[in-house]
Structure 1
Amino acid sequence: MTTEQFEQKFGQLIPIPIRIHEKLNDLCRPLSAEQAAELRPRAITVWVVARYLNRFGYDCDWEASSVWNPVLQVLTDFAELEVFEGDRCLGIVECIPLAAEAEALEIPEQVALGDRIAYIAVQVNPQNTWGTIVGFTPAVETEFPELTVEREELLSTEALLDLLELANPLLDEALLSDLQAYWTRHGQWSEAQRQGAIAQLERAFLLEEIENIRVETAAQELENLMYQSVGQDASRELAFREDDSEEGDRMELRDILKRLFQSLREDLG
């Protein structure tokens, strides 16, 4: 595949300037050759993602990432990047190198169980002169997260920008007030549950175009999360039984989600 074909398929290439390599050389100087070889790809991917998002008006302090921090870089395998719109943090993305020949993106388990909103696959050419975002997958907080995502299943860079646009209104607590009230009647609501719910809402909104399917997908995943929040086995049939009263209860959740998705569509224009 030529560079032009690669760019057309996967998005705009990001040139990596010499100053970034010089800074990375300084960063790696105290490390062993093995440590430096492991660190470099992760550090470069963080810079590539930050530079890409900067072009669309998002603020990303790549030097604040643990992989660029001399103290933290050898203590974790993270390559996280906080994304801001103005003074508002939209969330944390994980930047993961993806080799040209790799058929799937491998997400480290310790990262998958964290607070990321997305895992972004980045390919860098062998000369380390340019990088590009191959795609991404939204983070969905579940008890057993999927750690391998096939390359062809990664979403596009355009969908990544949609995700960040979606993250902003979902930070508004008023938008989730009805869902929170419903949740507390059936499960335990906490900051971790709120983030998990947001992740499921984002995924349903991004992946499903038909409104009824979008609502039902989100509802089923949220019902499972509610089960997990009170320590029940999510593999059981949901506690929302199929008698008339419980069916009405389930419909209430779907009505809440319909209104929520409508609000999101209005916010996103």
Structure 2
Amino acid sequence: MGYYIGVEPGVNIYVEDINPGGGKTIFFIHGWPASHKMFEYQFNQLPKMGYRCIGMDMRGFGKSDKPWSGYDYNRLADDVRCVVEALKLEGITLGGHSTGGAVAIRYVARHNAFGVAKLALFAAAAPSLIKRPYFPYGLNREDVINIIQDTYSDRPKMLQGFGDMFFFQYVTQPFSEWFFQLGLEAASWSTAAVANTWLDEEGLFSDLGKIFVPTLILHGIHDRVCRFPLAEAQKEGIKNSKLIPFEYSGHGLFYDQCDKFNKELAQFAGA
């Protein structure tokens, strides 16, 4: 079941609601620059286990509206709040991948975990995607600037290069093409704007200490986008958290080790 939810005048967010009559709810926030469709291999399995799965497309991505502005983590977290309120969600597991994980962290911290009983982070881009003087584990700032510049000059080439470093295990050419198309559904300006947010956002460091709900951290040790030390920093910063390394996964652990991913998430959400 798919529908649109207004989050501010003129901006509607697309939401896919799978098995709305199911039991416990898992709310998925996708990573940059994809859409809710990236969780296809969760949506076709977890509902069989009795879960209701909700996937939203962040503004600027997938089927959602693509306004010129509103791509900082505060606004993106506020969009999540609008969806949670509109669907009257309570006691959910909020899960986010990469940038979506950062948005999930900001949501729990900014909105006092409204409607959320548990938090699940998948290769989350937190507490910082880029290296900083006090945090030497992220990407080089120059690499992100190049991503932004390439977005404006040759976005398909940029997306292809990003896709090539996304998965650790082999993916077929048809799968690679499908994943590439997810990125093309986004607007170029929103793709660049979120990347700019990576450069400027430093509040996630303090956000980690504001999380009080049980938190599951799933992270591939071969991740070349959000490197594994980010997961260790999340574990250290979030009091009630558990880190599970994925030994044969890169950034796309939801597909690299799909069965393990689904099992760990289902056990956590259902406990």
TM-score range, shorter chain: under 0.3
Structure whose CA Rg is larger: 1
TM-score (norm 2): 0.27
Higher helix share: 1
